[in-house]
Amino acid sequence: MPIKIGVVGYGTIGARVAEAVMKQPDMELVGIAKTTPDYKAKTAISRGMKIFIPENSVESWKKAGIKVDGFIEDLVREVDVIIDATPKGVGKANSEMYKKEGRVAIFQGGEKKDLVEATVVAQVNYDEARGKRMIRVPSCNTTALSRISWFFEREYGVERIIATIARRAADPADKKEGIIDNIEFDPIKPPSHHGEDVRTVLKNLNIFTTAIKIPTTHAHLHLINVKLRKKVSREEILDALSEERRIMLVSSEDGITTTSDVFELSRHLGRPMNNIYENVVWVESIHSEGEWVYLAQAVHQEAIVVPENIDAIRAVASSLDAESSMNTTDRTLGIVRGRI
């Protein structure tokens, strides 16, 4: 029996997760919940998705001439697992509805850790989601930091990580936030929340993060400094990273030097919605000095959490182990590892 999924919130994240669910052999997308009768609703219907709406929006959908399949509450009753991809804080409000119907719910990084029983990144702590009713997938930055931190911790042991995050100011489709003509050290008093968020996944990790907000929309960029528990050569790191799941290695030798090159790469890879699900690490950025290793990685904020949502569904609603789940997810989404 396929796992029945409902996606509540069909924006940057929700639309991508819904599309990914439809590619899973063991899942059925029962429908998506949307508040606005717009082009996204029309394209969702053309892709065979059912639409569920808030009860107080019937008139606006009728006026738009878009036929719907029921109310959000109906969707919640029909599914096994809810993916809540609503704006920050709305998930918390929706959680009462999910609890009332006894549904398992997976939230996103904008929700606070106190709302959930676990924060899960599949490569790191997939099993922590077992038997849980309310979990979250951390934000894009935390997901990327957790993956690369886990790699270093598992392979060599980590004494300290210091990471600087250059955060995109807005998503390409954002009309409200727009990009700003300045660079903002945000928060102005470090550390940023990311280190604490990574510790909801990788407990006790000694990580300190700062963040700057920059005028771009394509991706975030991380500058990562890791003090390992032993000396490791650049070559060893590069060889090991080449085998690491969900780490894509790129190089200036291939003409990839900027986040817009990575964005363009996603198009040449034929990725839906320009999705880059992987941490994108520059080969040339990897540098080793004794126990210290440095590297730079780009993070496609709109897509990196998509495979994590798919694996989180199996972690809470199937008996599949982490490796089997990630193998299916990576195969169906065309996720690569190593040098492109």
Ligand X SMILES: O=C(OP(=O)(O)O)[C@H](O)COP(=O)(O)O
Ligand Y SMILES: NC(=O)C1=CN([C@@H]2O[C@H](COP(=O)(O)OP(=O)(O)OC[C@H]3O[C@@H](n4cnc5c(N)ncnc54)[C@H](O)[C@@H]3O)[C@@H](O)[C@H]2O)C=CC1
- List the binding residues for D-glyceraldehyde 3-phosphate: 139-141, 194-195
Pick between residue 149 and residue 288 the one whose CB is nearest to ligand X: 149
Q: Is 311 in the site for ligand Y (CB under 6 A)?
A: no
Helix, strand or coil for residue 58? helix
Give the angle 303-266-298 at the CA atoms, nearest 5°. 60
Least distance CB 172 / ligand Y (angstroms) = 10
By CB under 6 A, tell whether 142 contacts ligand X.
yes
Smallest distance from the beta carbon of 60 to ligand Y, in angstroms? 12
Q: Which does 142 bind (CB under 5 to 8 A by kind): ligand Y, ligand X, none?
A: ligand X
**Number of residues forming the site for ligand X (CB under 6 A):** 8
Minimum Å gap between C-beta 292 and ligand Y is 29
- Assess 140 for contact with ligand X (CB under 6 A): yes
Active site residue 140: yes
Interface with ligand Y, residue 305, by CB under 6 A: yes
Q: At what angle do helices 12-21 and 39-46 cross, to 10 degrees?
A: 0
If one asks whether residue 197 binds ligand Y (CB under 6 A), the answer comes out as: no
Applying CB under 6 A, does 221 fall inside the site for ligand Y?
no
Q: Is 134 in the site for ligand X (CB under 6 A)?
A: no
5 secondary structure, DSSP code: E
Binding site residues, ligand X, CB under 6 A: 109, 139-142, 167, 194, 301
Catalytic positions, written as ranges: 140
